[in-house]
Amino acid sequence: MKRNALIFLSSVLLCSCGGGGKGGSDGGPTAPPPNPTAAVQGVWNGTSTGTLVHGPACIGNPVSTPVKAVITQSGSNIALSITLNSAITCSFHGTVGATSIGWTFDQQQANPDCLGFRHLPCRNANGSIRFIDSRLRKGDLDGSVSGNQILVTGDSITDILDSGTGQVIDTLEIMGKTQLQKQ
């Protein structure tokens, strides 16, 4: 009932504004309709998986990780707080359209684990483990929204640093896929 009333009111407003007469004889152009945005605010749970594209072979492929995303929304702008494996929470920001969504890593994080200043375990060919210093450079994801599901893919680039000098000596690139379900 409420929906029918909104459709009726929208029709009345369009007609009273001269919505699209032929040849511009209705007094001038009309404004384009606003771009619709999906409603994504709320709590989303799912999994994130990654595949090593470039980097030391000793890193191996990341495993599937449980993900919880809390999304706040203002129009098409979104802010996300994403918790990986119930342990590390990082912030992101992005935009949402009618069926598209994308977000990028916030460079100013409260949690140093989000910045990637950490020692990654690296298994050598002889089975021993060494740790390599790393720092996340970027993380961008783009994808789609469909009802109560979000599917995004993207890559993260992590700089591998020389432990003594802090200089970048290599990069680690991981292609990721995250699937979320609204709770």
Residue 130 neighbours by CB distance under 10 Å: 13
Q: Give domain status of residue 10, yes or no.
A: no
163: helix, strand or coil: coil
Q: Give domain status of residue 107, yes or no.
A: yes
Q: Give domain status of residue 21, yes or no.
A: no
> What band does 165 get if pLDDT is binned at 50, 70 and 90?
confident
Contacts of 167 (CB under 8 A, 6+ apart): 161
Q: How many domains does the chain have?
A: 1
C-alpha span between 136 and 120 (Å, rounded): 12
pLDDT of residue 179: 96
* 156, 141 Cβ separation under 8 angstroms: no
Q: Give domain status of residue 58, yes or no.
A: yes
> What band does 136 get if pLDDT is binned at 50, 70 and 90?
confident
C-alpha span between 174 and 120 (Å, rounded): 14
* 173, 155 Cβ separation under 8 angstroms: yes
> What band does 102 get if pLDDT is binned at 50, 70 and 90?
very high
Structure tokens of 88?
């590390």
Q: Give domain status of residue 25, yes or no.
A: no
C-alpha span between 44 and 82 (Å, rounded): 9
Q: Give domain status of residue 20, yes or no.
A: no
> What band does 33 get if pLDDT is binned at 50, 70 and 90?
low
> What band does 182 get if pLDDT is binned at 50, 70 and 90?
very high
C-alpha span between 157 and 141 (Å, rounded): 12
Q: Give domain status of residue 116, yes or no.
A: yes
pLDDT higher than 50, residue 40: yes
Q: Give domain status of residue 9, yes or no.
A: no
The residue segments making up the domain with residue 78 are 35-182
Query: What CATH number corresponds to the domain at position 70?
Result: 2.40.128
